[in-house]
Amino acid sequence: MFPNFLLVGTQKGATTSLRYYLETHPEIYIHRAKECKFFVREDLYQKGGIQFFKSYFSEYNGEKVNG
């Protein structure tokens, strides 16, 4: 399952607060790791490319939105 959205931000950009509010919604799934680093670490891509990225969302349980 691919995510419907990615939460991208800067330091001190209130992304932690936004993540918290999104996590409290019952129809939104947010991956448990705060930073996946898939897009900045070549070694993670080498583990299987997009298929490996999809594994970040393996706990998705049918919520309407997945990110």
Q: Under DSSP, is residue 20 helix (H, G, I), strand (E, B) or coil?
A: helix
Structure tokens at 10: 């800067």
pLDDT digits (tens, 9 = 90+) for 36-56: 778 788 888 888 888 888 887
The yes-or-no verdict on residue 6 having pLDDT over 90 is no
Residue 35: which pLDDT band, with cuts at 50, 70 and 90?
A: confident
Residue 21: predicted pLDDT: 94
Residues 43, 58, 31, CA angle at the centre, nearest 5°? 75
With residues binned 3-state (H G I as helix, E B as strand, rest as coil), the percentages for the chain, rounded to 5, are: 30, 5, 65
CA neighbours within 13 Å on the CB side: how many for 34? 8
Q: What is the mean pLDDT of the chain?
A: 86
Residue 28 backbone phi and psi in degrees, to 5: -120, 125
pTM over 0.75: no
